[in-house]
Amino acid sequence: MSFLQDPSFFTMGMWSIGAGALGAAALALLLANTDVFLSKPQKAALEYLEDIDLKTLENEPRTLKAKELWEKNGAVIMAVRRPGCFLCREEAADLSSLKPKLDELGVPLYAVVKEHIKTEVKDFQPYFKGEVFLDEKKKFYGPQRRKMMFMGFIRLGVWYNFFRAWNGGFSGNLEGEGFVLGGVFVVGSGKQGILLEHREKEFGDKVNLLSVLEAAKMIKPQTLASEQK
């Protein structure tokens, strides 16, 4: 048992423990930056989206079925993760840059939020050039609601998105729930269906604007669709 009295034995043991802990941390960091632990999104059916109850954010709010948003002319809809998030504001501004082209196509731009607190939606409006609705039951964030918790803060992609938005001059706050991930939909008129469905896989995972525009060009206004039957 003389080896127990040898200081180098304990030094080697502590070094081994430290190396093991470092290796485990490195492995965890590596895995956190893959898609292994990300929950896979479930595609939404048109019937699922059509039946969602939305509320307007007027002084006297009214409730409507989501299908009213796209029934005649289709729609581009952003499911906002959190209005005060500077990453969400960046994507809202990006989508709003398409507004002139969407107007030419006759396709409206909308957003839905999952909560309406303080002045969050009002402060979001300068970044988003469309009407905003309240989805209290968070249906646009389903059918399988996905969350990204604190793992998001060790993902390199998220930090890249942070710096991109910061460099773009966007700022925000920490008000409201921001872990349930959002997305963007392009929905055709009538029963044309969902033409594009982008589900945010991590904080700041933006939709491809060219894909949004291409999908919007596929929308057939309801009157034209009826004539072609």
Q: Which residues are catalytic?
A: 85, 88
Tokens in use for 181? 């991930």
CB 108 within 8 A of CB 102: yes
Cα 204 from Cα 200, distance rounded (Å):
7
Q: Supply the DSSP symbol for 18.
A: H
- How many degrees, rounded to 5, is the angle at CA 68 between CA 187 and CA 111? 60
Residue 87 CA, chain-centre distance (Å), reads: 9
User: Order of strands across the sheet with 109-113?
Assistant: 63-65, 53-55, 131-134, 109-113, 75-79, 183-187, 194-199
Query: What is residue 61's three-state secondary structure?
Result: coil
Percent helix, percent strand, percent coil in the chain, to nearest 5: 45, 15, 40
